[in-house]
A and B are shown apart, each in its own frame.
Chain A
């Protein structure tokens, strides 16, 4: 039973560029959430997708956008990268209904030069 998988594991970009991160949810899960974790902090909620729609959004600018595909996989896009976007980006999947724990992937480490 495959867990949550994220790609790539590491990425280096320069300021102003655009990046796309990918996530495949745990088998059977229909909801994907994205988080940003800066060094020494807990994960910060970016947004959540269910039925290919953004359902909730945290306090992140419009430069952060996403997509969910019919197979429940998801992408996180960040435009006009800033130095402050350097962080670990975590994807988590869960069931939409009820109070269910979210299962996390190992993350994508994004470094902005």
Chain B
């Protein structure tokens, strides 16, 4: 049962432009959302998170937006850099610690 969905398997952007990665969820009980980045042969690395009581959280070039009514969140990377090329996973907490992941979006940032 796919409670967290990333419908775009891949995204390609030019260096310096904005990257927008999207994520939808179906379970209204989710109350904490995270983005992870994964390089080949490495484990996922925590990037940024947001609580359901907020609609925006920023950390440097990374901003996460949460739209609870639409059950949608997005990750904005500005400006995008070639080193940002990786697979990005959206995740959501259910029952505090039972984390559910999307299938991932492969971001390619072209120089």
Contacts and interface: CB of A to CB of B under 8 A. Distances in A.
A42 B98 contact: no
A5 to B, nearest CB: 10
Contact of A56 (B31, B98, B104): B98
A43 B44 contact: yes
Contact of A104 (B6, B45, B98, B103): B45
Interface residues of B, number: 27
Contacts, number: 56
Contacts of A102: 46, 99
A73 interface: no
9 contacts: A42-B4, A42-B103, A48-B98, A94-B97, A99-B51, A99-B96, A101-B46, A104-B36, A104-B44
Interface of B: 4, 6, 31-32, 34, 36, 41-46, 49, 51, 89, 91, 93, 95-104
